Every structure is written in C-alpha cells, then in structure tokens.
Structure 1
Amino acid sequence: MHRPIHHSIRPSITWEEAWKGPDEGLIRCWEIGRERAMNQPELARRCIDGALPVLGWKGGHDRVLKKPMKYGSFKYLAQWQGLRGEDLLIDTRTELTITCRHTGMLTTFTPDQEKYANALLLVE
C-alpha cells in the first residue's frame, strides 16, 4: 500500500469508501494521522522522534510493559506514518518491527489479527 504525502486528504468520502475499500481503511487512518499532526503538533513531534504513543489502534504504548514486545495493527502504522508526515508505505503481506525510542519496547506490525487476539488472551 503506497500513497505519496503530496496527495490531498480526500475531502468527502463515505464510510463505506473509507473503511470497506481495497485498502481496508489504511488510507483513511493515514489521513487521520495527517489531520492530527496539524491539530496536535506535540504528538506529531513525538512520532517524528521515534515514539510509538497510544493512538486509536493497537501498536502504541506509554510505558514499558513486562513483555518487551507486542503486536500492532497496520492501521496504527498508517496513522503513525501520517503523523510523521511520511508517505503511506506498508507492505501488507509482511510484518514490520519498530522499536519505540521513548520506551524501548518493540512492536511488530502484522497482518495476522490472530496475534492481537492471542495477546489479549495472555493479558487476561
């Protein structure tokens, strides 16, 4: 999935277009990140500095957890890239691991949603 940063944020799209299209909402998440960067410059600055803050999708953290690695959603990664002012660039067929520069935690962004469910079961 690739969308250059110079593309405008789509002004008016339906919920179906945003979330049920072939990109499965990744472009909309990236656009939301870009919008948040304008309204929350401190959050954007933290993301640019390499932090993985808590956002609306699985992937961020605000403190060190007992388990030093967790799984995250590509929707989180798309919003994070938007907050950083980057192109949307996600290979949805492979996992990507990023280390949070704030906490040192590792987050592996994955297409396998079962890993999120398993992580929730381990916590409970």
Structure 2
Amino acid sequence: MSQHIQRSIDSPLRTGLNREQLWEDHDKGLIKCWEVGRQRAARFPELANQCLAGELPVLGWKGGVSRSLKKLEKFGSLKYLAQWQGLRGEDLNIDLSEERELTCSRTAMVVTFTPDRSKYFNQVAEA
C-alpha cells in the first residue's frame, strides 16, 4: 500500500502545531521539511536557484552533495527530498513506500532518496 504525502504549493504554512504533530504524524515530518524549504527559498534565493537548476546542495538532511565522490551514487533522506521540493517552489509529492532517484546537475552524483533509514544512516558523510 502506497502512502502519498501531497500538499499544494498554494497551501498556507501551518502554525500552532506541537512537536508531535510536526514530526510524528502520518507524514513523518515531511510537510514540515517542505515548509522549511519554502521559507528558505524566500530567504536564500541563490539556494533556491541551485535547486531549480537541478543541483542537490548540502542541506540539513542527508542527500545533498558538495562534490563528486569516487562512488558516484549515494542514498538520501525523504526529508531532504521534501525540503528540496519546497526550495524549488513545487508541490510536496512523496510516496513513503518508494525510492526516488535524482542526479545532481553540478556533480553528476546520483542520489537515491529512500524511506529505508538504514541505507543512508551509516554511509560515509561528506566533509
């Protein structure tokens, strides 16, 4: 059974929610990550432009790339993907049961965004 988390870019930012509602609800914090991405796009237009150009810049969640590594593929968090969609000004659209692969336009690194935390949790971090 797929569990799609979707939200329109025209939706207002949510307010007055507690930690449990933001991070532990059915969306697993993806809506909050996407909302943070929307806010960061307004504050950091250059970062938003990088995302719009297909780059995967380093953000607060695993998935961004600052340079090419020897191994040209890695795993990333769905929370990164949600924030990236917000930075791009896109609707939130993530399936919690599927992996999604993106290639960074700047580094050519392939990042597979996955709901399986074990795939990215112990992977070598970028310096």
TM-score (norm 2): 0.92
1:109 aligns with 2:113: yes
Cα deviation per residue 1:25-56 (whole Å; 9 max; x = unaligned)?
Answer: 00000000000000000000000000000000
Instruction: Identify the match of residue 52 of structure 2 among 44, 48, 64.
Output: 48
1:79 aligns with 2:83: yes
1:23 aligns with 2:27: yes
Q: How many residues align?
A: 122
RMSD over aligned Cα atoms: 1.4
**Higher share of residues assigned strand:** 2
Gaps of 5+ in 2: none
Instruction: Identify the match of residue 38 of structure 1 among 32, 39, 42.
Output: 42
SS in 2 for 1:35: helix
- Whole-angstrom distance in 2 between the partners of 1:16 and 1:117: 22
Query: Deviation at 1:11?
Result: 2.4
- Whole-angstrom distance in 2 between the partners of 1:10 and 1:23: 14
Partner of 2:17: 13
TM-score (norm 1): 0.94
Percent of pairs identical after alignment? 55
**Higher share of residues assigned helix:** 1
- Whole-angstrom distance in 1 between the partners of 2:15 and 2:115: 28
